[in-house]
Amino acid sequence: MTNNIYFIANWKMFGSTSLLNSLNKLINLSKLKKYKNSKIIYFPPFTLIKDFIKKFNKSKISVGAQNCHHVQDYGSFTGSISPKMLKDLGCKYVILGHSENRNDGESDLDVNKKIISALNKNLKIVFCIGETLKEKRKKLTHSVFKKQINRGLKGVKNYRNVLVAYEPVWSIGTGVIPKSKELEINVSKIRKLLSKRTKYKLPILYGGSVSSKNINSLKNISGINGFLVGSASQNSKKFIDIIKKTIN
């Protein structure tokens, strides 16, 4: 386990080359000694990955993709991008199992196949899990964790490149975050489930409406090793604010 604190910027289907200059501020921040344990990783849409990699070339900021196909190398899959292609591009990470893709029909089995392929290609994966509002109301949250973790990570042997992001679906894009106690209990449950699979202490991140307004309370939740930030990460000033408040 490292003492790294992860700050993930998930730009989703947003962004254009005109925003590249706004990243200079992040590059400057990442060079400061104070933030040496802060791991900043950008996940732009596929079309911007190459520009981001070039932009962050001489900095410690990494770049990842928001999804990939489950076939490792090449195949007749129109519109898809493979783990090999991402690796060749210079990507270090890939987000898998995001609820927006699960909601589009991606099953636990699909996520598992992608995880195995991405890990085989030496990509680090950000494995997203989390319950819907309906599941939460039915008190199924912990059984959802169990199902998603056991199915998603089936067959994974080496956990060194696995990060887990807990993202309650009802919290994504809504401005609503879990109560501190509830979040602490859920993160600890996830930690327990993961510890049954590996001795390696995986980073667990929280995602869902993280903002510069709620970060002061979120950063105090024990067991969380960083944040997956969606909409607030598209604005460099807001993203920097989140990082600064967490580290200060």
Positions marked active-site: 98, 167
Question: Among residue numbers 89 through 118, which ones bind ligand PGA (CB under 6 A)?
Answer: none
* Binds ligand PGA (CB under 6 A): choice among 130, 152, 168, 230: 230
Asked whether 145 and 164 are in contact (CB, 8 A), the reply is no
Binding range to ligand PGA, per CB under 6 A, among 103-111, 118-126, 146-154, 202-210: 202-210
Using the rule CB under 6 A, is 176 a contact of ligand PGA? no
Binding range to ligand PGA, per CB under 6 A, among 30-38, 55-63, 109-117, 203-211: 203-211
Binding range to ligand PGA, per CB under 6 A, among 20-28, 70-78, 191-199, 223-231: 223-231
Q: How far is the CB of 236 from ligand PGA (least distance, A)?
A: 15
For CA atoms 198, 201, 202, 208, give the dihedral sign.
positive
Q: Are strands 162-166 and 62-65 parallel, antiparallel or unpaired?
A: unpaired
Q: How far is the CB of 130 from ligand PGA (least distance, A)?
A: 9
Residue 206's CB is within 10 A of a number of other CB atoms, namely: 26
Q: In the Cβ-directed half-sphere of 121, how many Cα atoms lie within 13 Å?
A: 27
Q: How far is the CB of 78 from ligand PGA (least distance, A)?
A: 26
Using the rule CB under 6 A, is 82 a contact of ligand PGA? no
Question: Among residue numbers 114 through 173, which ones bind ligand PGA (CB under 6 A)?
Answer: 167, 172-173
Asked whether 169 and 99 are in contact (CB, 8 A), the reply is yes
Using the rule CB under 6 A, is 202 a contact of ligand PGA? no
Q: How far is the CB of 42 from ligand PGA (least distance, A)?
A: 13
Residue 94, strand partner residues: 65, 125
Residue 33's CB is within 10 A of a number of other CB atoms, namely: 5
Q: CB-based burial of residue 181 (10 Å sphere; 0-12 exposed, 13-18 middle, 19+ buried)?
A: exposed
Binding range to ligand PGA, per CB under 6 A, among 116-124, 179-187, 196-204, 208-216: 208-216
Asked whether 68 and 86 are in contact (CB, 8 A), the reply is yes
* Binds ligand PGA (CB under 6 A): choice among 193, 228, 242, 243: 228
d(CA 6, CA 219): 12
Query: Given the rule CB under 6 A, which residues bind ligand PGA?
Result: 10, 167, 172-173, 207-210, 228-232
